[in-house]
Structure 1
Amino acid sequence: MKFDDLYYIANELNKEKVRWMIGSSVLLYFHGIVDSPNDIDIVIDEKDIMKVKDIFDKIGIEQRKEKKYPYLTEYFYTYIVRDTSVDIMCNFGLAHQCGDYRLKIDEAAIVEYRKINDYILPLSSLEDWYVLYQLMSGRESKVNMIEEYLISNGVNHYELFDRALTQPLPEAVVCNIKSLTGDKA
């Protein structure tokens, strides 16, 4: 992944006043958890999905991908923008043994607007991705890395854990959240 490509995308989305946020490995990179992300994962507010589709149709080449269970994401697109693969998700959801879980995108979910080289990058929370990765198969290493980070640096967004706990979650995920938060979530 090339960071110039991320800045180019951020500029295009911000110019059109899209509500979006960065997640996954780029988010982990910005917290020093991984050394280098492979691609860009962004989550889009549903009200902006058609605007975003138009933007990416102009700046990238769409790659066809089939939706795979347990992912319930309503709108999912993959584009190549310059040299970087970008996954665009809207109404991101995961099915699991206790029900369905949905990532909410609103101002509370965007926990930081990081400015780099005059580009504004809206970041989602490690707390939300800690929950999401636990619901994804084969992501144990990322769960462990985020957990270690939160133990070392503290939980900053208890309210997002509280919000996560209002949705159906496996007992193991609930226990992991509660062990990180004590009585605060």
Structure 2
Amino acid sequence: MIETLKEIVATIDERKIVWGVGGSLLLSFHGLVQHPNDIDLLVDEEDAFWFNKKLEVLGTPIEANALRPFRTRYFAKFIVGGNNVDSMGGFAIEHQEGVYRLPFDENSVVGSFDGIPLSSLEDWYILYMFIPNRQDKAKLIEEHFKKNGVKHPWLLARALNQPLPHGIREKIERLLR
């Protein structure tokens, strides 16, 4: 997976765009899971079309169906270097209080691994609370925060500006205390 990511970095480096690795691969970089499922990439919505065109050159597009509750504007799937790669620009997910839209910008990329940009655990903590059957991953991140602290509290704080279910709002507020 790392070699595939390095190939992606080399291909898109000609244009400075905001993107970062997320999902289970991000969790593996933080030692929270042993075996990542695939490569999830978040990209600034404005650059998503261009980004996906570059991924098409590197690999093979596969059918991508964005089903409810997902409302992501640009969702594409590829096979690159034998790895499943999901590209998401304008990530959004519907819930009982409305739609949560991930504000993904330059502040969302909080680190790198060998030149590979990494999105934040804080953003993925929120996303995993919404994604069906992924609350276990949210719990892993929450335990990590309790043990090591929240490194990017402003990312959690900005989520509070959106409609959130009461239980999720409470969890975020508790972590920010």
Q: Percent identity?
A: 40
TM-score normalised to the size of structure 1?
Answer: 0.91
Q: Which amino acid aligns with 1:100?
A: V
Is 1:53 equivalent to 2:52 in the alignment? Answer: yes
Is 1:159 equivalent to 2:154 in the alignment? Answer: yes
Mapped to 1, the partners of 2:175 and 2:18 lie a distance apart of: 29
Deviations 1:6-31 (A, max 9, x none): 22112212233232111111111111
Mapped to 2, the partners of 1:59 and 1:111 lie a distance apart of: 25
Within a 5 Å distance, the mapping from 1:11-50 to structure 2 comes to 11-50=10-49
Pick one of 134, 142, 148 that aligns with 1:147: 142
Alignment check: 8 A CA contact 2:40 2:87 kept: yes
Which residue matches 1:68? 67
Deviations 1:19-51 (A, max 9, x none): 211111111111110112121000111222232
Deviations 1:148-182 (A, max 9, x none): 10000001111111100000000000111122221
Mapped to 2, the partners of 1:50 and 1:132 lie a distance apart of: 22
Q: Which amino acid aligns with 1:159?
A: W
Q: Which amino acid aligns with 1:162?
A: A
Q: Secondary structure in 1 aligned to 2:107?
A: coil
Within a 5 Å distance, the mapping from 1:81-160 to structure 2 comes to 81-112=80-111, 114-116=112-114, 120-160=115-155
Q: List gaps (5 residues or longer) in structure 1.
A: none
Alignment check: 8 A CA contact 2:18 2:109 kept: no
Q: Which amino acid aligns with 2:118?
A: L
Deviations 1:107-129 (A, max 9, x none): 111111x242xxx1111111111
Q: Secondary structure in 2 aligned to 1:104?
A: coil
TM-score normalised to the size of structure 2?
Answer: 0.95
Number of residue pairs matched by the alignment: 177
Which stretch of the first structure deviates more once superposed, 136-145 or 49-58? 49-58
Mapped to 2, the partners of 1:29 and 1:11 lie a distance apart of: 22
Regions of 4+ moved over 2 Å: 13-18
The Cα of 1:76 is off from its aligned counterpart by 0.4
